Structure 1
Amino acid sequence: MTWTNLWYLLPLSSRWMTWNLFLALIPLVLSVWLFRTAKQRSVLWWMGLFWFVAFLPNAPYVLTDLIHLVFDIQSTDSLLFNTLVIIPKYVLFIGIGFEAYVLSLINLGDYLKRQDLDPWVLQVELLLHGLSAIGVYLGRIERFNSWDLMTRPHHVVRSIADTFLDPQPLLFMILGFAVIAGLYWIIKQINLALLLRHQYMKTVKE
């Protein structure tokens, strides 16, 4: 395969990457509005919270797009192209997507702390990890979208009910929960460490 053909194939993966990344950034944008800028909890705020939870699984969903990486690597015979283009492209894509998940929950945690609900932060994080694992399964395996909660809620509920009666999907979700929770904890600590360093450097300069 020539380099010309390889560069021609790039836009094919870029289309779904752009769309999935757009979906992954929606909960981050909503978290900034809900937990940083909104002044009161109006009806609109509660509607935004619903959509925040509904779209949140789209952020960790990018982890499952690693299956496309394997296909893209196998589709080329150029080690240089895979090393310099394909792999960095996926690393950036997945990194931004999951970082959106981490920052979304950090914003939520800060909001709960400002509401004097510190003991609930961990429980809420674990709950959202679990819901996200379910959402990732529904999206990757059952091919549901976030908006199906509004357009086809009965299909979503039926699929979830069937899932909990089948050990194989349940195992998928348990593993998904473990991966999401583990990566979240690691990246959250990195983010908090960078934030503390930034605050320290800012204090020293002053």
Structure 2
Amino acid sequence: MGSLVGWTAEAFGALRHNLHWMGWNLFLAVVPLALSVWLFRPHRPRTFFWWLVACIWLAFLPNAPYVLTDIIHLIDETRDGHYSAWVIGLVLIPEYIVFILSGFLAYVVSLIYLGRYLKSLQLKRWVLPVELTLHALSAVGVYLGRFVRLNSWDIVTGLRGVVAELLEVLAAKQPLLVIAITFAIITTLYYALKVICLALYSYWQRSDLDVPGLTARTEK
């Protein structure tokens, strides 16, 4: 009984230790998804306010795939020997899987909304180029966030510093290699999960369940 109580306390301690930063990073990942629901409604007029929100969406978009890099915290926690193998296997690893998958799904669904919006504008041929461009921009954003420690709001509070850091990164070979690898990972995971999400959406349609904003509508 004592060992069970000790294990339970250790498990809750591990969950509580990660709750704060995971919650914050997941919130930042969901921001672009929430904005995309409003932005990419079919036939939404592109007013000045729309473009302003679109810029905010783009600035926050890399926060969603950024959660992939948080796997380094799991590696650190498994190496330091602070938690037992049971807690690592039954608590930490599932916690990280749910966290990372939720954050990255926010990225996938956000771009699906964008793709539907482009199709509603009869711009289907632009979906793939736009997606690849956003993957590349997100890879740059992930690098700046993870290694340079910049945030989305630094674009407003310190644009000159962001531009200087970006130029420095683009002039160096090692950061470009990391960005290229990040781009490949984001792209691969995105298209794999996109297929799953669209398959689930097709199932929901057959079940007469509506997902707001995802129903494709085109003018005749």
What TM-score does the superposition give when structure 1 sets the normalisation length?
0.93
- State yes or no: 1:151 paired with 2:146: no
Unaligned runs of 5+ in 1: none
The 3 A distance-change label for structure 1 pair 38 and 120 is closer
CA deviations on 1:41-81 (whole Å, 9 max, x unpaired) are 11111110001100000000000000001112224342211
User: Residue 36 of structure 1 aligns to a residue in which SS?
Assistant: coil
- State yes or no: 1:87 paired with 2:90: no
Alpha-carbon offset, residue 200 of structure 1: 2.9
CA deviations on 1:86-105 (whole Å, 9 max, x unpaired) are 01100000010000000000
- State yes or no: 1:121 paired with 2:127: yes
Write the distance in 2 (CA, Å) between the matches of 1:197 and 1:10: 34
The 3 A distance-change label for structure 1 pair 89 and 187 is same
Write the distance in 1 (CA, Å) between the matches of 2:127 and 2:83: 48
Structure (1 or 2) with the greater helix fraction? 1
- Report the aligned-residue RMSD: 1.8
Alignment partner of 1:178 out of 184, 204, 207: 184
Write the distance in 1 (CA, Å) between the matches of 2:63 and 2:26: 8
- State yes or no: 1:139 paired with 2:145: yes
CA deviations on 1:14-47 (whole Å, 9 max, x unpaired) are 1100000000000000000000278321111111
Q: Which residue of 2 aligns with 1:97?
A: 103
CA deviations on 1:161-201 (whole Å, 9 max, x unpaired) are 11111100000000000000000000000111111222234
Alignment partner of 2:172 out of 166, 174, 182: 166
- Asked whether the equivalents of residues 21 and 97 of structure 1 are also in contact (C-alpha less than 8 Å), the reply is yes
Q: Which residue of 1 aligns with 2:39?
A: 34
Number of corresponding residues: 203
Equivalent AA in structure 1 for residue 154 of structure 2: D
Write the distance in 2 (CA, Å) between the matches of 1:53 and 1:131: 9
What TM-score does the superposition give when structure 2 sets the normalisation length?
0.87
Write the distance in 1 (CA, Å) between the matches of 2:205 and 2:84: 45
* Identity value in percent: 49
CA deviations on 1:106-159 (whole Å, 9 max, x unpaired) are 000000000011110001000000000000000000000000001101111111
